[in-house]
Structure 1
Amino acid sequence: MGALNRTPAAAVLGATGCVGRQVCSALSLRGYDVLGVARRHAPHADAHKFAAVDVAATEPERFAEVLQAANVRVVVNATGGWHTSEADNEYSHVRLVDRLLQTLALLPGVRLVQVGTIHEYGPVEEGRPIDEAVVPAPVTPYARTKLAGTRAILDATAAGSVDAVVLRAVNVFGPYTTRASFLGSVVDKLREAREGSPVVLSVADARRDFVDARDLAEAVVAAAEAPATGRVVNIGSGVATSIGALVSALVSVAGLPPEAVELERAEVRSKGGGWTQADIRLAARLLGWRPRTCLEDSMRAMWNTAEGAC
């Protein structure tokens, strides 16, 4: 009886990552007790309860005990990475989801929010906004395995064994952007330029949609509570911005003179091609969500957190 009166909790898988840490904060502000879950502890995870668990390697019964003990009513899967090998992608995006679904089948009434990727759709022709009706046709191991995870979740939802929503997010930037991303790597190079070393950046002739990690976190909170079971919802800014403009904005935020950085043309290399622009109308209708952070604020947060100012 006492457990029924406890504050509902939310478990965030991938809590130490760029997206996961923002989701933890957003859920906490919403009133949830937050349980961060990741394979390894990180200092910033101390803001919430934390469990060091490799979900893909943990027996479902054992992980279900961890979630049940914390009174978890919402699980957010913000794990995953841009792995190069098929095996690593399979482990992070398919095996982990399979284990998670087995776990949640033991815990009726828990809502799952899966953070997927816009790249699950695969490349689309330039100029076409990507809505949820686009038939997925991914071409990379990362995107194919993320799609496999999404399909497993949707199948489980249709079968009634889990209550889940999938958010297909565009590229993420803002505070604590991972160095593994293109913009994260640009930040590292611009920090070198601040020390007086001229920097040459390879910039593709591409236009992509980016969403601030804090806005994505707010979408996760909305999805945790909206009547959206079994739906896929695209999350982005709804704007395709040229990579050159993004880099120029970052150079400006860094306070560098234009001559400190030389831009050279490069081939498009992306998980989903040279063009992405999410159609976010369904997110507005179904979740009541719209992005709120402007590009300059995202760039400033990305730079400041890399510099240790935030």
Structure 2
Amino acid sequence: MDSRSNSAGRVLVTGSRGFTGRYVCEELAAAGYDVIPTAMTSSPDSIVLDIASPEACRDVIEAHQPDYIVHLAAISFVAHAQTEAFYRVNAIGTSNLLQACHDVGHIPKKILVASSANVYGNTAGGELFEDQRIQPVNHYGASKAAMEYMAATWFDKLPLIITRPFNYTGRGQALQFLVPKIVDHFRQRQPRIELGNLDVMRDFSDVRTVAHAYRALLEGSATAEVVHICSGVPYALRDVVSTLEKLAGYEIEITVNPAFVRANEVKVLVGSPEKLSRLVPGLVRPTFEETLRWMYEE
């Protein structure tokens, strides 16, 4: 049976086996879409796509003719050791994917490209809006900024929307990321934990909210837009620890490890959800405490 005839559309998802990708694929499948998951390596659940290869991008777009594309594939760990990889994957890889659509003459109904709030760098002082000047302070942020500038050159040729997600978390996120690391220590009832700057403040969302927002933005009419994916509520690292102490019923000993304090640490990062709320009314948003409870009780 041809799944095109009875689905909401065919969606190509890059980075489908990553933390975000798994939730986005589930969200899309539950909504009736025919999901085409891709990943760097072969598996029974996805097709192989190395976005660093222009030829591979053209072959996949031509073969599958997706109605929509959700582009999530990226190097996302800020402390990743290989500087060159940030630009090869995050910027050039995205360029290859968009160019491939043009080269094979296939224009999807919507392409969603995930950027990052790290493009703002050390900007602080109230909520950040989408027209805020971007000034990244690390290679991850710089590679995403380069990607955004490149993607914007396609606004008049492809129905493209760029998302800037702020921090988000949930079950299944790798322990190298901060919130899962803290949650894991409490789940194992560890007596102590080593952390960096306890006063860093972040805008946290639930990964399920992010997946819902991505689907809704695909279905909406907005194009040639940059949209924050955020809650608008800042939380200090101390707040995360305090909430988990209440959930776990004990206090943990915190040691500040200077090795975990980056010289170019972004101190405060909180976004305005105004545009997102306008484009996606009724977006389901668990509280951060509900998200932490969900992770802790896994």
TM-score of the two chains, using structure 2 as the length reference: 0.88
Q: How far apart are residue 88 of structure 1 and its match? A: 1.0
Task: Please name the residue that 1:86 is paired with.
Answer: 83
Q: Is the 8 A contact 1:209 1:277 kept in 2?
A: yes
Answering whether residue 210 of structure 2 is matched by residue 212 of structure 1, we say no
CA distance in 1, matches of 2:4, 2:22: 27
CA distance in 2, matches of 1:29, 1:4: 16
Identical positions, percent: 24
CA distance in 2, matches of 1:273, 1:295: 20
Q: How far apart are residue 186 of structure 1 and its match? A: 2.3
Answering whether residue 58 of structure 2 is matched by residue 61 of structure 1, we say yes
Answering whether residue 288 of structure 2 is matched by residue 295 of structure 1, we say yes
Using a 3 Å threshold, how does the CA distance of structure 1 residues 271 and 54 change in structure 2: closer, same or farther? Answer: farther
- Higher mean displacement: 112-121 or 291-300: 291-300
Task: Please name the residue that 1:139 is paired with.
Answer: 137
Using a 3 Å threshold, how does the CA distance of structure 1 residues 95 and 187 change in structure 2: closer, same or farther? Answer: same
What are the ranges of 5 or more consecutive residues in structure 1 without an aligned counterpart? Answer: none
| 1:275-294 equivalences in 2 (<5 Å) | 275-288=268-281, 290-294=283-287
Q: Secondary structure of 1:165's partner? A: strand
CA distance in 2, matches of 1:261, 1:66: 55
Task: Please name the residue that 1:148 is paired with.
Answer: 146
Give the partner amino acid of 2:215.
V
Using a 3 Å threshold, how does the CA distance of structure 1 residues 134 and 58 change in structure 2: closer, same or farther? Answer: same
What are the ranges of 5 or more consecutive residues in structure 2 without an aligned counterpart? Answer: none
Q: Is the 8 A contact 2:110 2:159 kept in 1?
A: yes
Q: Is the 8 A contact 1:56 1:96 kept in 2?
A: yes
Q: Secondary structure of 1:157's partner? A: coil
- Higher mean displacement: 288-297 or 107-116: 288-297
- Higher mean displacement: 145-154 or 280-289: 280-289
Q: How far apart are residue 256 of structure 1 and its match? A: 4.8
Q: Secondary structure of 1:180's partner? A: coil
State the superposition RMSD in angstroms.
Answer: 2.4
CA distance in 2, matches of 1:299, 1:37: 29
- Higher mean displacement: 102-111 or 276-285: 102-111
CA distance in 1, matches of 2:263, 2:59: 37
| Post-superposition CA distance 1:133-192 (Å, at most 9, x none) | 10111111100101111121111113x1x2110110001111212222111222343345
How many residue pairs were aligned? 288
Q: Is the 8 A contact 1:119 1:271 kept in 2?
A: no
| Post-superposition CA distance 1:48-83 (Å, at most 9, x none) | xx2122122251321223332xxx211111121223
Q: Secondary structure of 1:84's partner? A: coil
Q: Secondary structure of 1:132's partner? A: coil
CA distance in 1, matches of 2:214, 2:4: 24
CA distance in 1, matches of 2:149, 2:284: 26
Using a 3 Å threshold, how does the CA distance of structure 1 residues 214 and 41 change in structure 2: closer, same or farther? Answer: farther
Answering whether residue 221 of structure 2 is matched by residue 227 of structure 1, we say yes
Task: Please name the residue that 2:99 is paired with.
Answer: 102
